[in-house]
Amino acid sequence: MKILEFIPKHWREQATGVTEGFVLALAKPLQTAWDIRKRLDLWLSPENMDSSTLDFWLYFLGLPPSVILVLNQGQKISLLPNLVNTWVSKGSVEGVELYAKAIFGPSIVFSEDAFLFIVGVSKAGDLVGTLRPLWNYKLLIPLAVPQTDAEVRQIMAYSVPMFCRYTIERV
């Protein structure tokens, strides 16, 4: 068994009787899990899934049905392996860009726009706060993307925080 490779050499050489039985008893479930995990890669490969199974896994991993219906098969296949990573970094610029690239392809650019926001004015001329970009982004999408801008916004709503604004530009 593979587990015997991970125990110290002295125990491996001395593994007889009770010690060997104890190690093998602990190893049996682990070995079974390892064998299942090796087979799962083939079964859970997005390229090998039919459409309904792919939709199930996307839904199971938290993608809303409204987004699943808008995506084509190729976009679903490329999104599934990245969905956990996009969930972990959800809301950050890096997470939104990873999500957009997984769906729309690697040529997507999600960057901060040069919009400046003044936090407040207490009286004429007095600035309260600092000048800085305020969650305003630009999403550059290739013309080849089949979805309309409204569908792109529907897809991106899953990853972009509600307080962020972004413009969509086709390039």
pLDDT of residue 150: 92
CA 53 to chain CA centroid, Å, is 18
Give the number of other Cβ atoms within 10 Å of residue 160's Cβ.
23
Distance CA 52, CA 170 (A): 31
Give the number of other Cβ atoms within 10 Å of residue 149's Cβ.
14
Distance CA 31, CA 23 (A): 12
Look-up of token digits 């650019």: 109
In angstroms, how far apart are the furthest CA atoms of the chain? 87
Model confidence pLDDT, tens digit, residues 21-39: 777 787 788 778 777 777 7
- Please provide residue 137's backbone torsions phi and psi, each rounded to the nearest 5 degrees: -130, 165
Distance CA 110, CA 132 (A): 18
Distance CA 36, CA 15 (A): 26
Model confidence pLDDT, tens digit, residues 131-155: 545 567 888 888 888 889 999 999 8
pLDDT of residue 118: 52
pLDDT of residue 126: 46
Tokens of 48: 């090998």
Beta-sheet strands, E only, within 69-164: 109-112, 116-117, 120-121, 127-128, 132-133, 136-141
Could you list the mean pLDDT of each consecutive 10-residue stretch along the chain, which spans 171 residues?
Answer: 68 68 77 76 74 87 86 87 78 84 84 57 48 70 89 88 84 85
User: Which residues neighbour 61 within 8 Å (Cβ) at sequence distance 6 or greater?
Assistant: 80, 83, 84, 87
